[in-house]
Amino acid sequence: MKLPVLGQPQRYRGLYVFDFGEWTAVGYTAEEIAILLESEAYRAGKVYKIVRARPDGYMELRGISAERFQLESGMFFNRNDLDAARADFEGLRRLGQTQPPPCRAFIHLADRGVHPGVFRYVTALVYPAEYDDEVGQWLAEAGYQGGDVAEGGISHVTNYYDQAKVILEREQLCGQSAIPSRSAAEVFSSVRRAVQR
């Protein structure tokens, strides 16, 4: 795979490279990658996330499976005390309103019921799996500390859906990406451009 020479490569950190097979394009957002992967013409493409980029042009890439763009991931903040769980939920709600997350997401406060060895209440933050790094960074930068025990990942989302008996509260969070995504028409009209941004 041959990548184009980029002016200010560090600007591309967090964006994606799409390998079309015959050519490669740099600078897609996660939403734009999802558009390409959903199309019949490009669903066989390979996706790489730009993890690091230095001014000298060196870039560290991480391969991302196409399936990941169809999955949800999440962070789960567990408590046995309802008041503490409500405080976790309210803290996430306030954070989402004052500092929007890097992508669309939702939060739930759920009651799992009483089961030995399982925390009864959970504040769930669920979002598209391709944003794991960005959501983790968002929470860390905000200093959010919820739950007696915190867990995260794709498999925990499935467990959450199986275990949550009653949703006590819910909130949809509108994401605010640092780089706005283009429409499907704009993405498809520019696939032959080596540098997308």
CA 168 – CA 89 distance, rounded (Å): 10
Q: What is the pLDDT of residue 174?
A: 87
What pLDDT score does 107 carry? 97
**Does 85 share its domain with 163?**
yes
**26 and 111 together in one domain:** no
- Evaluate whether residue 131 is within a structural domain: yes
pLDDT at 145: 94
156 and 75 in a common domain: yes
Total domains in the fold of the chain: 2
Cβ-contact 154, 129 below 8 angstroms: yes
**Local structure of residue 80 (DSSP, 8 states):** S
> Which structural domain range is residue 56 located in?
9-69+180-189
Strands laid side by side in the 16-19 sheet: 24-28, 16-19, 46-53, 59-64
pLDDT over 80 (residue 177): no
* Position 2 in a domain: no
Say yes or no: 61 and 126 in one domain: no
In a shared domain, residues 74 and 46: no
Do 147 and 87 share a structural domain? yes
Instruction: At 6, give phi and psi (nearest 5°).
Output: -115, 135
Question: Contact, 123 vs 147, CB < 8 A?
Answer: yes
pLDDT value of residue 185: 95
Band of residue 73 on the pLDDT scale cut at 50, 70, 90: very high
- What secondary structure letter does DSSP report for 128? E
DSSP 108-171: EEEE----TTS-SEEEEEEEEGGGHHHHHHHHHHHT----SEEEESHHHHHHHHHH--EEEEEE
For 13, the 3-state DSSP assignment is: coil
Sign of the C-alpha dihedral, residues 61, 65, 66, 71?
Answer: negative
Instruction: Over range 82-98, report the average pLDDT.
Output: 97
Question: Is residue 3 in a domain?
Answer: no
Q: Is residue 197 part of a domain?
A: no
The pLDDT, as a whole number, for residue 89 is 98
pLDDT 10s digits, 17-59 = 999 999 999 999 988 999 999 999 999 999 999 998 888 888 8
Answer yes or no: do 57 and 115 share one domain. Answer: no
Residue 78 has pLDDT above 90, yes or no: yes
Determine how many CB atoms are found less than 10 A away from the CB of residue 63: 10
Q: Does residue 97 belong to any structural domain of this protein?
A: yes
Distance CA 193, CA 98 (A): 37
The rounded mean pLDDT for the chain is 92
Tell me, yes or no, whether 79 and 53 share the same domain. no
Cα–Cα distance between 173 and 155 in angstroms, integer? 22
pLDDT, residue 164, reads 85
Is pLDDT at 176 greater than 80 in this prediction? no
